[in-house]
């Protein structure tokens, strides 16, 4: 008879093998490419260049421009999703009828593939053929959603439309897990709704807020489909995000070695953000426990 430990290892082994095959090998191979000058057009073996690709990435102004564009996109999109999501979650918490129907309809945008959402808004917001600009022109408003200075915010709006339900889902779960005693005590003391929100609900909801913001920020940093389906980085390089810039470098310009190094730089930056966020969460938790 097999020991429980061997049985557990046997059950986990297929998952580990799948992880190594699907995630481990591509990651290791990308790490190898990142220290070579490999190009898709080369037929011979790539030459190892060491850290040259990484040094070139850190010195590349276009890379940091794409980084700044992505950071602005994340701040705008996640900021609006947080505010709108919290407002909707507070409203849904008080809903007494048709709760299941409302929540299922609200979550519908999450289940549409991002590329389909991008293509849909590309035609809805097109300055010449789009239905929304045409309706705006009937009331005397001529607005180019994908024009200079506006395109990035339009992409952020598309992200808000699709992923605010995810924020609502997390925040609603957090609100429903808040104990009732502090809320009842505040109301008995005569506290108003805004005071209860600021002084009671938000502090108790802080761990959920941090997780929600972190998850959405990490996911928003990967934005590619909206850019690919709508602006292709334009006008100019105004909507050239990190993922699209890496795609251009590796696929359009065939420089897979440079693209791999850029991807690993982004990975390191993301891991640094995650570590800092979780350390602050741990400090906050310990301070609250005291």
DSSP-derived 3-state class of residue 179: coil
What's the pLDDT tens digit per position in 241-256?
Answer: 999 999 999 999 999 9
- Give residue 1's pLDDT: 47
Q: Is the pLDDT of residue 125 over 90?
A: yes
pTM over 0.85: yes
CATH architecture group of domain 64-288: Orthogonal Bundle (1.10)
- Please name every residue paired with 120 in a beta bridge, in sequence order, or none if there are none: none
Q: Is the dihedral of CA 257, 261, 262, 263 positive or negative?
A: positive
Percent of the chain with pLDDT over 90: 60
- Give residue 282's pLDDT: 77
- Give residue 289's pLDDT: 57
For tokens 């590309």, what's the residue? 122
What's the pLDDT tens digit per position in 86-118?
Answer: 999 999 888 778 777 888 888 889 999 999 999
- Give residue 187's pLDDT: 78
b/e 231-241 (16+ beta carbons within 10 angstroms → b) = bebeeeebbbb
For tokens 């009828």, what's the residue? 97
What's the pLDDT tens digit per position in 153-189?
Answer: 999 999 999 999 999 999 999 999 988 888 878 878 7
Q: Is the pLDDT of residue 221 over 50?
A: yes
DSSP-derived 3-state class of residue 153: helix
Where would I find the H helices in the chain?
A: 4-19, 25-33, 52-58, 61-93, 99-106, 114-124, 131-138, 151-177, 180-188, 193-196, 202-220, 225-229, 242-247, 256-289
DSSP-derived 3-state class of residue 141: coil
Q: Where are the domains of the chain?
A: 64-288
Q: Is the pLDDT of residue 146 over 90?
A: yes
Q: Is the pLDDT of residue 261 over 90?
A: yes
């Amino acid at each position: 008879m097999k020991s429980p430990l061997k049985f557990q290892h046997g059950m986990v082994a297929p998952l580990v093998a799948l992880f190594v095959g699907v995630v481990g090998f591509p990651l290791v191979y990308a790490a190898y490419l990142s220290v070579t000058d490999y190009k898709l057009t080369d037929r011979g073996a790539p030459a190892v260049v060491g850290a040259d690709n990484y040094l070139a990435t850190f010195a590349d102004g276009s890379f940091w421009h794409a980084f700044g564009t992505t950071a602005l996109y994340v701040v705008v999109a996640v900021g609006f999703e947080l505010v709108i999501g919290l407002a909707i979650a507070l409203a849904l918490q008080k809903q007494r009828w048709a709760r299941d129907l409302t929540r299922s309809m609200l979550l519908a945008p999450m289940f549409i593939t991002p590329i389909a959402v991008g293509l849909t808004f590309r035609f809805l917001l097109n300055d010449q053929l789009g239905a929304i600009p045409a309706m705006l022109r009937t009331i005397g408003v001529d607005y180019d959603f994908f024009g200079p200075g506006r395109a990035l915010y339009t992409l952020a709006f598309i992200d808000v439309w699709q992923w605010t339900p995810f924020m609502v889902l997390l925040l609603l779960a957090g609100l429903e897990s808040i104990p009732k005693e502090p809320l009842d005590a505040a109301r008995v003391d005569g506290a108003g709704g805004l005071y209860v929100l600021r002084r009671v609900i938000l502090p108790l909801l802080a761990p959920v807020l941090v997780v929600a913001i972190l998850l959405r920020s990490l996911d928003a940093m990967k934005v590619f489909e909206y850019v690919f389906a709508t602006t292709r980085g334009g006008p100019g390089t105004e909507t050239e995000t990190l993922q699209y810039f890496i795609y251009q470098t590796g696929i359009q310009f065939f420089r897979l070695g440079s693209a791999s190094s850029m991807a690993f730089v982004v990975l390191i930056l993301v891991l640094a953000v995650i570590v800092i966020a979780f350390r602050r969460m741990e400090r906050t938790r310990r301070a609250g426990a005291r």
